[in-house]
Amino acid sequence: MTTEPETTAVSAEIEGGARPGPDGRLRCPWGTTPEDYAAYHDTEWGRPVHGDDALFERLCLEGFQSGLSWLTILRKREAFRAAFADFHIPAVARFTEEDERRLLADSGIVRNRAKIGAALANARVAAEWAPGELDRLVWSYAPDPASRRAPRTTAEVPGSTPESTALAKQLKKRGFRFVGPTTAYALMQACGLVDDHLADCWCRQQQPAGGAPVSGR
């Protein structure tokens, strides 16, 4: 996600500085409501994620989100997990044309032929890599936290960076599809490679940079 958990432009309603949520805590404006966003903001976004399957899941979901609200993806996440074998890379890599037809008929997920095709193709690519290789590749593009100033408003949060551009280029070079600099940066934000919580957000103030690690899911 960029600025808020979307790769599309931020609406005026969620621009600006940190805002108090229902509990009075200051949060990034997109993370105050609805409850789905608040929970994701407080417990997941910006916290380090490791593991090939976990990163593959988030890469797929960021791709499916492209052009849509991240709230749509959050509310369909469990359906995505059920449909895509918990995003276990070897399992998804074995999906057949029949599985692809099943996915295209599954109303619980985003039924976009190009995005589904990319997820399956990317699984087949990643299945050929050594264990931990996807994790190492993604995290090799994490910038030095000391080189990044905490944003004070959403306007200071970039949509992409040189690091995300380089990551997207490398993934494409290795055979991945449907991943550009904006999607790669959304992945970096979601998985804690960067901390884009606003300076006054309680998540940044009360957690180490990036927060506590998220294990797998």
Element spanning 79, H or E:
helix 70-83
Strand-pairing partners, residue 26, are 20
Among the listed residues 171, 169, 168, the one whose alpha carbon sits nearest the alpha carbon of residue 186: 168
Catalytic residue among 45, 70, 141, 202: 70
* 40 annotated active-site: yes
Query: What is the C-alpha separation between 157 and 135, in angstroms, rounded?
Result: 24
* 62 annotated active-site: yes
Catalytic residue among 6, 30, 37, 40: 40
Q: Are 180 and 126 in contact (CB under 8 A)?
A: no
Amino acid identity, position 212:
A
Query: What is the C-alpha separation between 90 and 134, in angstroms, rounded?
Result: 13
Q: Between β-strands 214-215 and 49-50, what pairing exists: parallel, antiparallel or unpaired?
A: parallel
* 70 annotated active-site: yes
Token digits of residue 135: 């994790």
Token digits of residue 117: 């095709």
Cis, peptide link before residue 34, omega less than 30° from 0: yes
Catalytic residue among 37, 62, 163, 202: 62
Around 35, how many Cα atoms within 13 Å sit in the side-chain half-sphere? 0
User: What three-state secondary structure class fits 196?
Assistant: coil
Q: Which residue numbers are catalytic?
A: 40, 62, 70
